[in-house]
Structure 1
Amino acid sequence: MRRSVAAVGSTVFFFVGPGTVAGLVPWLLTRWHMRELPLWAPMRLLGAAMIAAALVVILQAFVRFVVEGFGTPVPVAAPDRLVVGGIYRHVRNPMYVALLTAILGQALLLAQPVLLLWALAVWLAFSTFVRLYEEPVLARRFGESYATYRRNVPAWWPRLSPWRG
């Protein structure tokens, strides 16, 4: 796939996929209403920092799919090459981790416990999708290179030092 096509597809998917999971649904659940709780200001700051960090990671991951993988995060327009650079040297599923971080950050920022339940539901969906679909597809498509990557880079908890495979 050409990079320009991958960039357009990734941009559209960014708003549809992550925009829905970490934007639209949290808004529908909370209307982004900030509950007032005493002494909650430090939690709000932590939540805002989590959201900002998550956005940076998501954007980096999407760009990596275009420039390194020549594809998109959408399974029907998957990358031609295994993406293992940038943030992918630390964790195999940075987009999913970042989306969960964004949802948890909103829960703290807004003091909305319902978002903790949404994060749990999203994590269950992501982990099921990864285990039953993504990992088998990547193993078939990229063979030993994916197996090596999978052995060295954790799926959900980032390693501190980047993998240099």
Structure 2
Amino acid sequence: MSSSVSGRAGHARASHARIGSARIDEYCRVTDRLGERHGRLYFALQSVAGLAWWVAVFTVPAVRDATLGRIDPVVMAALDIPLFVVASALAAFGLRWAAWVATAWTALIAVGIVAYATITGLAGWGAVLMIAAAAGSIAAAMLVLLGRLPAEWIIRGPFAFRLARPGSTGDHVKRTGAQLVLFWGLFLVVFPFVIVLLERRWQLDVPVPIAVPIAGVVLLLAASALGIWSAVTMSTLGEGTPLPSATARRLVIAGPYRFVRNPMAVAGIVQGAAVGFVAGSWLVVVYAVAGSFVWNELVRPIEEAELESRFGVEYAAYRDRVACWVPRIRH
């Protein structure tokens, strides 16, 4: 997970080594921008989309083949229309039990269609669509049932905010290097490799011109350089690491943090997309974009609230002065 801690060596210190869960919950409630009405709107759109898809399944053979393969559409419709289409419509009207039904059914079908597509090589588009529907349904159900997205669930356990242990600059650099190896290995090698295998097994891969992987290599090198620069700056000036579990003890607004508040997040997202270009995989690019959305909407607000709680006016002034993603042009 990339840290949004930025720039010059600061002076503020946190009074606790770990941010309390009650304070994190408070941060999440303050920064939430989505509520129950958004969840109900999603279920309404999902109901309409599901109905339109079933009409297409029974009228357009290409749609049926691409999304269901050899699965009997009549049997599937008998179950899916009441449990997906109708339940989503009822959830849109605020019936909480319907949100449970629609979400559970969507997740179950997503697992089933992914297994079917992986075993048979058929219905690849069905697998992709149901994965997206399951993710959307889970998020919408949380909005309907809880009134918010429980972003604090992401930063529990090993990802809870804790100040880095006091140590030498060398210690912080070593810990940061180990984090980069672990997380880059998982998110830029292992996960994309699995996605590429599934994409090809589901027969969703498309040929790309040679310029695409070449551009990917250039982007990957540039983004990796930015990531390393950001990590070294964080560990040498911030007395910590990019991970919340060993977060920097000082506010850092030097190096790449002079230009954007989240250079490591920028680097990670560009790296993910670049890996997709190198592999010629559009699904890996989608994976990178989806990750950027999750980070921006769920993780970033909590990190920035935690930073403001520790560094106060100094961080607030920095946040107002420096852009989150794209450097501002100063005249």
Q: Deviations over 1:100-141 (max 9, x none)?
A: 10111122222101112211221122112011x201000001
Structure 2 residue identity aligned to 1:37? P
Partner of residue 21, structure 1: 187
Unaligned residue ranges in structure 2 (runs of 5+): 1-165
Unaligned residue ranges in structure 1 (runs of 5+): none
Find the aligned partners of 1:10 and 1:153 in 2 and give their Cα distance: 24
Identify the range of structure 1 (17-26 vs 3-12) with the bigger mean alpha-carbon deviation: 17-26
- Contact preservation (8 Å) 1:90, 1:160: no
Does 1:114 find its partner at 2:283? yes
- Contact preservation (8 Å) 2:277, 2:285: no
Find the aligned partners of 1:63 and 1:5 in 2 and give their Cα distance: 12
- Shift in alpha-carbon separation, 1:28–1:158, aligned structure 2, 3 A: farther
Partner of residue 241, structure 2: 72
Structure 1 residue identity aligned to 2:257? Y
Structure 2 residue identity aligned to 1:14? L
Find the aligned partners of 1:140 and 1:22 in 2 and give their Cα distance: 32
Deviation at 1:160, TM superposition (A): 5.2
Partner of residue 171, structure 2: 5
Query: Among residues 128, 137, 148, which one is paired with 2:317 in the alignment?
Result: 148
- Contact preservation (8 Å) 2:240, 2:249: yes
Q: Deviations over 1:64-107 (max 9, x none)?
A: 01111111111121111111111111111111111110111122
Deviation at 1:9, TM superposition (A): 1.4
Partner of residue 299, structure 2: 129
Does 1:158 find its partner at 2:324? no
- Contact preservation (8 Å) 2:273, 2:289: no
Q: Deviations over 1:13-66 (max 9, x none)?
A: 1122233222221122125x997736x122222111110001100100110011
Number of residue equivalences: 158
Q: What's the TM-score, normalizing by structure 1?
A: 0.86
Partner of residue 230, structure 2: 61
Q: Runs of at least 4 residues of structure 1 off by over 6 A?
A: 33-36
Partner secondary structure for residue 79 of structure 1: coil
Find the aligned partners of 1:54 and 1:145 in 2 and give their Cα distance: 28
- Between the aligned residues of both structures, percent identity stands at 26
Partner of residue 252, structure 2: 83
Find the aligned partners of 2:192 and 2:284 in 1 and give their Cα distance: 7
- Shift in alpha-carbon separation, 1:13–1:24, aligned structure 2, 3 A: same
Find the aligned partners of 2:283 and 2:206 in 1 and give their Cα distance: 15
- Contact preservation (8 Å) 1:69, 1:81: yes
Find the aligned partners of 1:122 and 1:94 in 2 and give their Cα distance: 15
Q: What's the TM-score, normalizing by structure 2?
A: 0.45
Find the aligned partners of 1:44 and 1:159 in 2 and give their Cα distance: 30
- Contact preservation (8 Å) 2:308, 2:316: yes
Find the aligned partners of 1:122 and 1:55 in 2 and give their Cα distance: 17
- Shift in alpha-carbon separation, 1:160–1:68, aligned structure 2, 3 A: farther
- Considering only CA atoms, is the larger Rg found in Structure 1 or Structure 2? 2
Query: Among residues 82, 96, 101, which one is paired with 2:270 in the alignment?
Result: 101
Structure 2 residue identity aligned to 1:81? R
